[in-house]
Amino acid sequence: ISSVGFEKQEIKLNGKSEFTITLKKKTNQLDETVIRAYGTTTRRLNTGDISTVTAKEIEQQPVSNPLAALEGRVPGLVVTQSNGVPGSSFKVQIRGQNSIAQGSEPLFIIDGVPFAPGNDPINELSSATGINGLSPFNSINPADIQSIEVLKDADATAIYGSRGANGVILITTKKGKPGKTKLNVNVYSGISNVTRTMDMMNTQQYLMMRREAFKNDGDVPDVNSAPDLLVWDTTRYTNFKKLLSGGTAHTTNVQASISGGSDQTQFLISGSYHHETTVFPGDMADNRGSFHANMNHSSKDQKLFIQLTAGYSSDINNLIASDITGYLTLPPDLPPLFDSSGKLNWQQGGVSFINPLAYLLDKYKAETDNILSNLQISYYIVRGLEVKINTGFNAMQVNETSIIPAAAQDPAYSTSGASQFGNNNYKSWIIEPQINYSVKIGKGTLSALLGTTWQQTLNSNSTINASGYSSDALLESASAASSVTIANNYSQYRYEAIFGRLNYNLENKYVLNLTGRRDGSSRFGPGKRFSDFGSAGGAWIFSEEKFAHHFAPFISYGKLRGSYGITGNDQIGNYQYLDTWGTTNNSYQGITGLYPTKLFNPDYGWEVNRKLEGAMELGFADNRVLFSASYFHNRSSNQLISYSLPAQTGFTSITENFPAVVQNTGWEFTLTAGILSTSNFQWNSAFNLTIPKNKLIAFPDLAKSSYSYTYVVGQSLSVLNVLHLEGVDPATGVFTFKDINNDGSIDFNDYQVQGNLDPKFYGGWSNSFIYKKWELDIFLQFRNQLGANYWSSIYSIVPGTMFNQPVALLKRWQMPGDKSNIQQFTQDPGSNAYQALSLFGASSGVYGNASYVRLKNVSLSYKFSASWLQKIHLTDARLYLLGQNLATLTKYQGADPETQNLYTLPPLRTITAGIQLQF
């Protein structure tokens, strides 16, 4: 049985003459809806570059942050996790770094509402999430997301003006659908462990390193310089890596939703709870509860449409004030961490030491409340003419408390506790009236869009530092402290624009798309606040031409598309043009003084991004195989950088526009294929590859500027302009460096380009296998790059001093004639080996191959048969196993090639099991 637009079915007669046959609608990837700026399109007719990550791809990953679900799945998009602590942040970059000194983050929009904090860290106090802080996206429940669209080229982003200069990420949440009311329950639970780490020296190896360091330096250890050799028990061994980060984290996630409705009114209500602990010892966890609701309504005459979406989440992150992974460098023969009374031990034999378990007594809590709502109302005045308004509100509040009791401090240095209190508030609203008009002209259709935007974002934050408490019982009260210091900030960002789009589709073969926007931003001074941006994009679906079937009958779909446009960048922070003042701790006659902190600077303007793209999209075998190749060429000029000023002015620098030019080019490839399809078995595969290149095209008088040692014209902004490490001198056992100018000394003048930290290429490969009721999905992520190796972490705590080191350092130089790439151990600041390390940190020695292939995600599920489900009154049920970060293939010298920091908790390996039921 076959029909156009439906899947063909073969049915055995078995003697029957009457049948009830229901055909499944045929899904064609080319005609699936793609969400773009202020509307939708299809992949077939799209003139821009938009990639989509679906709800199914997100649900197959046991992640609490939706940004984690994007890693490796979108060409042109690099997502990097900062560490494995729950709630930690992710760096997101689309098609490279455009700005030398300003922001390069994409614009994040959730259900038509700009996410108020963007991807900036939301914490005011330090926590175990490290310098990159808490991610605002940890307040977004991935299970509530229907799709994530990544907009990259000018055609897709220019209509967002300056806000879309670095790309746009659209997050669309799930909506109600017409049909019988359904209750969906999804529960999973699992465990997580640390993935790739480095083995540290045991006590015997560590003591050998220490003794050898003294011998190399010609020094004799004493009680002060070597208590680990002369005072502490040298037979004692503590594996701090296992103690501090070798635990098992537990994850539990519960999601329930109810949805349904008529053809006129649909609804969806969902709620979830997520609980995630850490691998650190102690009782710490991240807990999130969320609520999501949607209501859609249309009038009987299909003229009025109303969509209301609202969500609320509350996240409580109980961690500690620092990532204790870094304490794996403590001497393995450190004395017992607890004394005979069960209290923390701080000294032995009159020698004090760091007790890492003290940090487990510190209490850190971050409470994040996030509200996001969106209302869209549209009305068709006459056929083809629609008026619409999009409004939204986002509010996020973060309250933090960090407490350090007296019991967590060495009594030799402090006998009272201390506290910190932080508060960070974001409020953002947007109003966008729009008019859409569509009319047939000749053999084509003209669609026009005209709209305006008013947007405001407010941010206020404060910190309180309190100390001198008489009792640890009072630590949560700032007023009980004898010493209190307070700091607060407030900023306002206002934005307004008028935008438009013209789209003409001729016979579904020729598509022209024009967009324009006039932006106004409060971040610039009077006379510089407005600018114009726009783009032109076109597509030719040549497979619809008659000659295509004759000359290339094997091509079922073929499209050429291209775009060019200009966007601007206003990611410079608020009030940068104003002169600002700060308070000083010194007072005059009891009155707090003020001092200038920034010069008045109203003359700088927008950075300008020019984006060019060309692409070809092909389909084969009735579009079961789809291939696309695109080339992008982006240039960012009028760069905003810091100019050095004479010290006599009272300021060290000022921000100004500069005729420097940054270029990002690259190739992006995608391939999706239905490799095999039978009645019982299906195999689908998808592959993406990006080959990018970042280059500083121009920087006038670079050699005379303060950036002369940081950037090189013709090289990437992440260039490694450093000393060239020649190796270890076999005679002396000390690192040597290349003297480029042959002047007999090693200094800045000997810097040379040693590569860059940009990925050379990256991507992902997914395979989906379906056999009857079983489904197996496997996703591999890969990245080819240079990165900071383990030496970048340890060079500052000199190997040979009283810090433990990786076992890899045992392959060091020991005697004249030895050939090794690791210099001799040392502990004397006056030794040649010690001095060499001050140069080593600025050399090629701290970088190496950080390429990797990671088994990022595996999903195995079993779906129960409909006949069995009817007996227990279920409409759907499945059991599943999910795995994340399961294995990494790499030659990287260090812990994890993604985080590239020995002292940071790496991404965790997670395995969960769950059940999904639908009633």
pLDDT confidence of residue 527: 86
Tokens linked to 786: 């240079």
How far apart (Å, rounded) are the C-alpha atoms in residues 365 and 465?
A: 15
Least confident of 519-523, 587-591, 901-905: 587-591
What token pair was written down for 352? Answer: 């004090």
pTM of the model: 0.93
DSSP code, position 240:
H
pLDDT tens for each residue of 519-567: 999 988 888 899 999 999 999 999 999 888 888 889 999 999 999 999 9
CA 906 to chain centre: 15
Q: Which carries the bigger pLDDT value, residue 412 or residue 912?
A: 912
Phi, psi of 469 (to 5 degrees): -80, 145
Contact criterion met (CB below 8 Å) for 63 and 42: no
DSSP labels, 268-336? EEEEEEEEEE-SSSSS-EEEEEEEEEEEEEE-TTS-EEEEEEEEEEEEEEEE-SS-GGGGGGS-TTPPP
* DSSP summary character for residue 88: B
Q: And the tokens for 509? A: 């073969």
Q: Tell me what percent of the residues of the chain surpass a pLDDT of 90.
A: 78
pLDDT at 25: 65
pLDDT digits (tens, 9 = 90+) for 483-508: 999 999 999 999 999 999 999 999 99
pLDDT digits 0-9 by tens, 128-160: 998 889 999 999 999 999 999 999 999 999 999
Average pLDDT of the residues in 512-520: 95
> H or E segment at 390?
strand 385-404
What band does 568 get if pLDDT is binned at 50, 70 and 90?
A: confident
Torsional sign, CA 217, 220, 224, 230: positive
Q: What pLDDT was estimated at residue 549?
A: 82
pLDDT in tens, 157-212: 999 988 889 999 999 999 999 999 999 999 999 999 999 999 999 999 999 999 99
DSSP state of 750: G
pLDDT at 500: 96
Residue 250, pLDDT > 60, answer yes
* pLDDT of 574 above 80: yes
The SS3 of residue 351 is strand
Distance CA 723, CA 736 (A): 10
In whole angstroms, give the CA distance from residue 109 to residue 318.
28
* Range 635-648 average pLDDT: 87
Residue 466 in this model has a pLDDT that exceeds 80: yes
pLDDT of residue 5: 55
More confident call, 801 vs 102: 801
pLDDT at 4 over 60: no
- Mapped onto helix, strand or coil, the DSSP state of residue 543 is helix
Mean pLDDT, the chain, whole residue set: 93
Q: Which tens digits make up the pLDDT trace of 6-55?
A: 677 788 888 888 877 877 766 678 888 899 999 999 999 999 999 999 99
pLDDT at 27 (0 to 100): 62
